[in-house]
Amino acid sequence: MTTTTAVSAGPTDFETKLDMYKMQVALRQFETRAYDLFLENLVKGTSHLSLGQEAIAAGFATAMQKTDWTFATYRGHAHTLARGVPMTPVLAELLGRSNGLMAGKGGSMHLTSVEHGVMGSYAIIGAHLPIACGAAWSAQYRGTDQVAVCFFGDGSVNIGAFHEALNFAAVWKLPVVFVCENNLWMEYTRTSDVTAVANPAADRAAAYGLESIIVDGNDADAVYDVASAAIARARAGEGPSMIEATTYRHGGHSRADPGKYRPDAEVAEWLAKDPLPRYRARLLESGATEEQLSAIEAEVAAEVDLATEEAKAGGVPGEDLLMKDVWANGGSAWRN
């Protein structure tokens, strides 16, 4: 069944709430800097920003254990950073530098940091849902309590792999949590124009027998709550869940898209629901001081500046990388 949640208690201790605020600020400032560096022609290729969607990454990452796995899409900067990957290698990867997270071999759309549980960012719509099932199967088989959390956009709900993965996860009762970041727009097309049901992920998931929850994706506390519950269910062997988190991207689909197809009134409505000022106001109401929050914001700004400097200072990837690591032995030979 599909449940719509309105509760937003969030983490019980205040320090964690402050950390969750800092994480959202970091994601916001990082993505803003990534966009600035694109305008300077330093970020090459394409990039897909999570501006406006930070509360989902922050809420989930806070609810996850270190050994849990994240599977992200090409809109994956936020999910990668939220798991604790430092800013410098992520930014350097966007800049194609040798100190990048993957030394420049993956780029913006494929951020991966296995040591942080970030098992990849996947650029083919829907493909990583079955892959997350595989990691969950591995945890189930090996008897660990790891959970795979798989993030994707509302554009993924109409592709075959989505449907195969949901059924597969349900019949194998896998410890996987699917998270649809429903930002209402599938690239340049309104999702409701091309989708036959009102809640594109939750309605389908309910039909496949998954626990389905719709949550305000611009409320980090609410996201944290549903994430904690779904992850706990998965960890306890009670099977997969689908969380549809409603949100809005502040910018276009990718770097070249100004997002002009969206009505001004809609954009204004959602900017008013920006997760950051909302969370900031809530913290102030709960006893945080203006100085405390300003200090967090300044600390993050210094981190982003430092990461920018370090990323820019990174070298050009060497030719030695070109033929490396096609195979597990480190090489690329296909013949003797």
Partner 1 sequence: MAQLTFREAIARGIAQEMRRDESVVFLGEDIGAAGGVFKGTVGLLDEFGPVRVRDTPISEQAILGAAMGAAMTGLRPIAEIMFADFFAVCWDIVVNEIAKSRYMTNGQVTFPLVIRSGNGGGLRFGAQHSQSVENWAMMIPGLKVVVPSNATDVIGLMAASIRDDDPVIFLEAKALYSTKMDVPDGEIVDTLGSAKVLRKGSDATLVSLGYMVPRALAAAEELAASGIDCTVIDVRSLVPLDTQTILREVSATGRLFTVEENPRLCGWGGELSSIVSEEIFYDLDGPVVRITTPHIPLPAADALEDMAIPSVERVVTTVTKSMNS
- Contacts to partner 1 by CB under 8 A: 69, 101-103, 105-106, 110, 112-114, 119-120, 122-124, 127-139, 141-142, 146, 148, 160-161, 164-165, 167-168, 171-172, 321, 324-330, 332-336
Among 126, 79, 109, 262, residue whose Cα is nearest residue 183: 262
Q: Which is nearer to partner 1, 56 or 165 (CB)?
A: 165
To the nearest whole angstrom, how small is the minimum distance from the Cβ of residue 80 to partner 1? 12
Q: Which is nearer to partner 1, 59 or 96 (CB)?
A: 96
To the nearest whole angstrom, how small is the minimum distance from the Cβ of residue 312 to partner 1? 20
To the nearest whole angstrom, how small is the minimum distance from the Cβ of residue 212 to partner 1? 19
Q: Is the dihedral of CA 161, 167, 170, 171 positive or negative?
A: negative
To the nearest whole angstrom, how small is the minimum distance from the Cβ of residue 151 to partner 1? 15
To the nearest whole angstrom, how small is the minimum distance from the Cβ of residue 143 to partner 1? 10
Q: Which is nearer to partner 1, 208 or 248 (CB)?
A: 208
Under 8 Å between Cβ of 272 and 52: no
* Ordered DSSP codes for 222-264: HHHHHHHHHHHHHHTT---EEEEEE---SS-SSTT---TTS-H
Q: Which is nearer to partner 1, 272 or 322 (CB)?
A: 322
List the 148-153 sheet strands across, edge first.
2-4, 211-216, 241-246, 176-182, 148-153, 69-73, 118-122
- Quick count: other Cβ atoms within 10 Å of Cβ 198? 10
Q: Which is nearer to partner 1, 67 or 289 (CB)?
A: 67
Per the structure block, which two tokens stand in for 66?
Answer: 């270190």
